[in-house]
Amino acid sequence: MLDFSRFLVFLCLGLTAGPASVPQTPAPSDNTVLVFAAASVQTALDEIAPAAERATGVRMRMSYAASSALARQIENGAPADIFLSADLEWMDYVAERRLIQAGSRVNLLGNQLVLIATASRPVTLKIAPGFPLAATLGRDRLAMANPDVAPAGKYGRAALTTLGVWDSVAGKVASTETVRGALLLVARGEAPLGIVYRTDAIVEPRVVVVDRFPESTHPPIVYPVATTSVAKPAAGKILEFLKSPAARAVYDRQGFTAPAR
């Protein structure tokens, strides 16, 4: 069975270390599927996994991180069986390198982008062209996933650019590796405002939604999923369950939407 403590070290250090060989650890058994998934789907997949295992007889092991980090680790040889990305670009990245089974790729989920505030410090602010986000922040920071690589950050920057306010807040951004990191900054009160997915805001009682970004301000939020080119046969069973009505009920309850077509 895979030594997951060693694998997590590999996952965290891989980006800074550059291309590297895969740690010399045993691969998961043929009946264990390793799922690489965007951090924003962690709550949903953690709930789905027990039911998926009962229905398929296949064990699931999850690794959650930024889609960019996961894609690059797959490129470097990480033994993932399934990749669930928070945007199309990083799935395209691995597809262009022939690292997924092309026929397995589907758009699984959609989401919405929201502005959140710390629950103990609620803010009234209407998202609209030129809205006073910078003035509301004052000397404080806006928590966002890294807008250069993380899907949520890229969506957030696109929305703020469309609304004409990005230049006024770009220097105030507290950048995190994942959207869950941005959520945590606001939940702890370390940043008064943040941009996250609606599904993140739903699962964190220490934040409140200030307003939702109009979908016209950013590219459609789409979560594609696929089995990798090195996936074990059992991965197909898990992928089918992730597309099943039982899994869809969990996605719906947690605020995910159907993907844009």
pLDDT of residue 65: 94
Residue-by-residue pLDDT tens, the chain, 261 positions: 444 444 443 444 343 333 333 333 344 568 999 999 999 999 999 999 999 999 999 999 999 999 999 999 999 999 999 999 999 999 999 999 999 998 999 999 999 999 999 999 999 999 999 999 999 999 999 999 999 999 999 999 999 999 999 999 999 999 999 999 999 999 999 999 999 999 999 999 999 999 999 999 999 999 999 999 999 999 999 999 999 999 999 999 999 999 876
Domains and CATH numbers, the chain: 4-110+223-253 (3.40.190.10), 113-217 (3.40.190.10)
pLDDT of residue 67: 95
pLDDT of residue 30: 81
Reported as type and span, the H/E element at residue 197 is strand 193-197
pLDDT of residue 102: 85
pLDDT of residue 238: 98
Write out the chain in H/E/C secondary structure: CCCHHHHHHHHHHHHHHCCCCCCCCCCCCCCEEEEEEEHHHHHHHHHHHHHHHHHHCCEEEEEEECHHHHHHHHHCCCCCCEEECCCHHHHHHHHHCCCECHHHCEEEEECCEEEEEECCCCCCCCCCCCCCHHHHHCCCCEEEECCCCCHHHHHHHHHHHHCCCHHHHHHHEEEECCHHHHHHHHHCCCCCEEEEEHHHHHHCCCEEEEEECCHHHCCCCEEEEEEECCCCCHHHHHHHHHCCHHHHHHHHHCCCECCCC
